[in-house]
Structures are given as C-alpha cells and as structure tokens.
Copies of this chain bind each other. A is one copy, B any other.
Amino acid sequence: MEARVAEQSSKRRVTLTRESILEAALRLCSPEGGGQLTFSRLGKELGADPTAVYRHFRDKDELVLALTDLTVQEGMELSRQALPDGPSDDWRAWLTVTAQSVRASYLARPALAVLAAARTTASPAETHSVEQLITVLHRAGLPVIEAAECYRALLDMTLAMTQYTAAFSILDRSAQEKDEAAWAVKYGMLPEDEFPLLHQSAPRLTELFRDDDGVFALVLTTFLDGVAARIERARKA
C-alpha cells in the first residue's frame, strides 16, 4: 500500500502575472529545469492550470519572444560587467567578450536557444546593442555599411553556433551517446593508410567533441582575424 498523497496541489485559484510566468519559464528552459518548455510543465511550475498562461500571452510564440528579449538583455549586461569601461579602443577584446556573453546567456537556457536564437524582436535592448556593435566596427576602421554587414555576419555566426550547441545538448541522452561513440570509437579506429591525417588528429578531434567552448573560441578568433584583415584593407583604400 502506498502512502496517500495529500491534496497538495491545493486546487485554489492562483494569481499569475506576466513576471511570474516569465520567471517560471526561464527556470524550465535551464538544464536543471529539465530543458523543455511546455505549457503543462509551466502550469505545474506555477501551480496553475496549463491554459491559464493564455490569459497573459497570446500563444507560445509571444512567450518565447518575451523570453528572448530578457536573455539578450542579460547577455549585454554580462558583457558590461566583464568590461565595465565599455568598448575601449580594443575592438577585438570587446567583440570577443560580447559574443561570448550573449552565447553564455543563451546556453544557460538551451531550450530557449533552440526556439529563439534565429528570431528578431527589435526590442530596445536589441537595437541598442546593434548600434553599439556597428559603432565599434566603424571606429575600428570599417565604412558604415561594411561595419553593418560585419555586425550581421558576426551576430548570426554567434547565434547560429549557440543554437547548434544548444540543440545537441537537449537531445536524448541515448542520441548524444550515439554521436560520442561515433567520434571516440569509429574515428579512433580508422585505418592509417586510408586516413593518415584523420588517424593522426583523431585524439584532438575527440577532445574537441566535448569542448563546445573551445570550438566556438576557435571559430570566433578565426572570424575576427578575418575582420582584422578587412579593416587593414579598408584603411589602405
């Protein structure tokens, strides 16, 4: 015989607010929160009926866009904390820290990153950070239009890499293990005569498989080397 569960859920009416919903939703999107944002989980987290959320957000998309905005805001705050002096003359350091801050902010909620990384909200937090990014690139030496193009490339690359990592991280454990085994086992056992370079670099590649941060740092630094070359060219012209 099992212990009877008391009427713990206390079917009394709960009062929701936009803020309490967003807070609960952010918790659900985190890895500890189970990493899945659904109405039923959200209802449980809030102690309310799942459909009660519809009184505050028209649909799931509206909820997701609101969460995106909070996350972008947090990312820019993180960047400001890391570099309190703001964009100094070292454009490269500032872009690196900013890209990594936005990425970190999203990766703290992988479920949101998957849903929202490709979205544009045109919120104040977003527009201000875009102006700042273009300004830094322009001051570094790029013409305005080229600075804008460069901002777009850098941001999309950062968000895309973030979504990519987040998508993998919320896969079933079994699917993740399947991929890890592919790297560790198959790539480690390739015949040396047919795959000489792969055979030689397999240990490093297997290492990188677990190191998303390392891969992103690699992509970012290579990209910024390219930006530096572009600035050099613009200065000469």
Contact = CB atoms under 8 A, between A and B. Distances in A.
Interface string A191-232: 000111110110011001100000100110111111111100
A24 interface: no
A97 interface: no
A135 B195 CA distance: 10
Chain copies in the assembled complex: 2
A91 interface: no
Interface size class of A (residues with CB under 8 A): 35 or more
A201 B130 CA distance: 11
Interface of A: 61, 65, 114, 117-122, 127, 130-131, 134-135, 138, 144-145, 147-150, 152-153, 156-157, 159-161, 163-165, 167-168, 171-172, 174-175, 178-179, 182-183, 185-187, 190, 194-198, 200-201, 204-205, 208-209, 215, 218-219, 221-230
